[in-house]
Structure 1
Amino acid sequence: MNIVKAVLLLSLLASAATAWAEKIGVSMAYFDQNFLTIIRQSIDKEAKARGLDVQFEDARGDVGRQTDQVQSFISAGVDAIIVDPVDSASTPQLTRLAQQAHIPLVYVNRTPGDKTLPPGVVFVGSDERESGTLQMEALARLANYKGNVAIMIGNLSDAGALQRTRDVEQVVAKYPGMKVVQKQPANYARNEGMDLMMNWLGNGEAIDIVAANNDEMAIGAAMALAKSSKKVLVGGIDATPDGLKALAQNKIQVTVFQDAIGQGKAAVAVAQKMIKGEKVDSHVWIPFELVTKENMQQYVEKSR
């Protein structure tokens, strides 16, 4: 075989391998949120390691755009779909679309709003009943079980944010010396968390503890507090690299590790199993873990 024929054969084999690669369409609620970026990068890395062809789309917080993206994946004949939902309430429609097309669907991170998940549809994420509970119990201990609590809610359309908020309220209700005095959304955003904290400070609110539904809002609250002389305990959730940095600098006092890398890897693994027709549980849980200054170094390693 001469060199030209050998090169041509290798080229044809490479093309065939690409054509045969299983394809996964991934719709992310946002490309520009820190935690979701880690999940997206983990999905990409795991897909490549498994020889899968993956296509990412940014829904930019728009339910209609995400629905269109799922429909486009179906039209393109992907082998599986991974969705980080924009809105928990929108998932039943996405579930129906995937079911009608007989394409495996994996929801990742944000809890789907479906009452039950049918065969061929799986949720990979963490049980939100643990997140706010771990966070608020740790903050309560630091405050000697006394003080006024303000809650920063992620957003009101996210079932996870609402559950984290309920967790905090249930913990506070256990202790007679504590009460919730403020509860407002800041949409998981650092700048909105800072603005909300500045509003509370400007209004003279008596706040001893801020329990934020994620690290970004907690960091925003800490930035606002840095401009005042008021001492307030601040807790976040997710243990993102920025959150861990804020914890190390004592800008926030606790966070809760949600394994973004683990969620991304598991979503790809589950999708591939379903493509192969293997049986998978409807919910694949990745546990939350409390992070403090004492144990944070192990989570710095995990978040890389």
Structure 2
Amino acid sequence: MITRRHALTRLASAASVLALGATFAAPAFAEGLKIGFSQVTLQSPFYVQLKDGAEAAAAAGGDTLIFLDANGDVSKQNDDIQDLITQGVNAIIINPVNPDAVVPSLEAAAAAGIPVLTVDRSVNGGGVKAHIGRDNKAMGQLVGEAVVARLAADGITGAKIIEIQGDAGGAVMMDRRDGFHAAIEGSGHTIVEGPYAEYIRANAVTAMQDLLQAHTDVKVVYAHNDDMALGAAQVLSENGRTDVLISGVDGLSEALESMAAGGNYVATALNDPKYLGDVTIQVAREVAAGKEVPAFVDAGSKAVTPDNVADFPRTGLFAEYRPDVLAK
């Protein structure tokens, strides 16, 4: 994603309140909070950027962020959370490997009187003060609506849309699928559900090679993230299929660059991970201060099309989008 224009300072945090459907008194933060962060993995650029945003926000506010990488291992994540409890952190942020497997750790944190938040991925059951993330179903629907509008503008009816999916059974995959399908429903276009490419570009390249042979009449490709969409775009370009429209999710700067250059990339939805990390630290300060916060704090998203692509800074890996979700 992007270079962070700013991280809110402790002074700004103390002077601001969360205004997300509820009004809060200005929090009186303790000095030098110790915040734990158990991350699902650092194998994804998105999660590296999420870490960077959280670290910058913590440092700007004078807090210590203890960051632990579970590397996709449920057992290690539970051990990491227990380690954070033992260190006596003021709050714990979890991006869970599995939404059920961390429940015992949540109970242990509650027993120790440590509030827990989740970021990006939620957990099943209670014990969490707030979830900070984005509405993946809404993002899928935004992209679907942009695709339908583009097809209408181009006078294309009854289009075949190939969908390259994320991970089988994943909550993000299901939401991005369901939102997109809701937008396409009733449009007269047809969706062909392609394979699960695990959000990996190389996997999408292989999948698209087979899909293109099986569906030569394809008009649109929708992938559950921009990395896979760009992999599909590579295959289409190599085969001279510049007539096929491309769409994805996450707001990768590379996708926006392709869009700005006048190619056939027509839609994505912004998912700035650095800002997500920033917002998560701000909410962690609220809960550590004993304040009530919304159960879901939406860091915000927006559809990007060729019409508005120039509006979003894209100097980093992901395009920057920082709506004022932490308002006075």
TM interval, short-chain normalised: 0.7 to 0.9
- Give the alignment's TM-score, normalised by structure 2: 0.79
What is the aligned counterpart of 1:127 among 135, 153, 177?
135
Matched residue, 2:288: 275
CA contact (8 A) 1:80 1:271 kept: yes
Distance 1:195 1:93, change over 3 A: farther
- Read off the aligned partner of 2:66 and give its amino acid letter: Q
More helix by share: 1
Matched residue, 1:197: 208
Distance 1:66 1:200, change over 3 A: same
What is the aligned counterpart of 2:120 among 92, 109, 112?
109
Percent identical pairs in the alignment equals 26
Matched residue, 2:248: 236
Unaligned runs of 5+ in 1: 1-19
For residue 205 of structure 1, report the CA deviation from its aligned partner: 5.1
CA distance in 2: counterparts of 1:273 and 1:183, whole angstroms: 42
Distance 1:97 1:195, change over 3 A: farther
Total equivalences in the alignment: 281
Matched residue, 1:25: 36
Q: Deviations over 1:255-281 (max 9, x none)?
A: 101232321111101111111112212
- After the TM superposition, which residues 9-48 of structure 1 pair with which residues of structure 2 at under 5 Å, given as runs? 21-48=32-59
What is the aligned counterpart of 1:187 among 181, 195, 198?
198
Q: Give the greater-gyration-radius structure (CA).
A: 1
Distance 1:169 1:257, change over 3 A: same
Matched residue, 1:265: 278
CA contact (8 A) 1:150 1:209 kept: yes
Matched residue, 1:149: 161
CA distance in 2: counterparts of 1:172 and 1:242, whole angstroms: 26
Q: Deviations over 1:24-69 (max 9, x none)?
A: 1212222131222221111010000011111222222222222222
CA distance in 2: counterparts of 1:74 and 1:205, whole angstroms: 55
CA distance in 1: counterparts of 2:143 and 2:150, whole angstroms: 11
Q: CA RMSD in A?
A: 2.1
Distance 1:298 1:88, change over 3 A: farther
CA distance in 2: counterparts of 1:133 and 1:182, whole angstroms: 16
Note if 1:290 corresponds to 2:298: no
Unaligned runs of 5+ in 2: 1-30, 322-328
CA contact (8 A) 1:42 1:264 kept: yes
Matched residue, 2:268: 255
CA distance in 1: counterparts of 2:105 and 2:199, whole angstroms: 24
Deviates more, 1:269-278 or 1:84-93: 84-93
Distance 1:216 1:103, change over 3 A: same
Large movers: runs of 4+ above 6 Å: none
CA distance in 2: counterparts of 1:163 and 1:237, whole angstroms: 12
Distance 1:270 1:221, change over 3 A: same
Distance 1:45 1:179, change over 3 A: same
